[in-house]
Amino acid sequence: MLNLYLLRHSNAAENPPPGESGDAARRLTPEGIEKARHIGRAFHRLGLAFDLVLSSPAARARHTAELVAKELQTFPKVELLEDLWIDGEPKAIVDRLRRGSRPPREALLVGHEPDLSLFASVLLAGSPGLDLIFKKGGVAKLSIDSLKFGRCAALEWWLTPRHLRAIAGID
């Protein structure tokens, strides 16, 4: 059984910092940093622990994953996966999750919209037709008995940033 958590990166600046270019260089805003910490606290209160963490290489996704990790304290190293970047190959994500002699039981993926929604839709319905939207800092938990690229998952829960703030004891 695989518990797969799909997390959209936290709030990011509209533009990259001075001297840098490209969408991948955009950083978290102060609000985004605080939101990522709240996510980590909520995960901690939910008793979550991950044996695999995959993140888009974009600065805002990587930083979100690292801030969540800091709050959990029992977090494996964040592994960057190009296919979690915008317009990545979702089949390659499944292949990465299946790789290794010991598949993960608890995995966190940190990425972007609309790609996370499309990936979730394929795992839940077998096609990208579900109208799912991850808010910045929103997370879904999917349970999967046998991972494949196609319908294989059940939606356990879907939490917005507001839910996560309440769980973290912020509201």
List pLDDT tens digits, range 34-47.
Answer: 999 999 999 999 99
Domain ranges across the chain: 2-167
| CATH number of this structure's domain 2-167 | 3.40.50.1240
Cα–Cα distance list, 134 to 10, 18, 20, 42, 112 (Å): 11, 29, 27, 17, 8
Amino acid residing at 102 = R
List pLDDT tens digits, range 101-135.
Answer: 788 999 999 999 999 999 999 999 999 889 899 99
pTM above 0.75, yes or no: yes
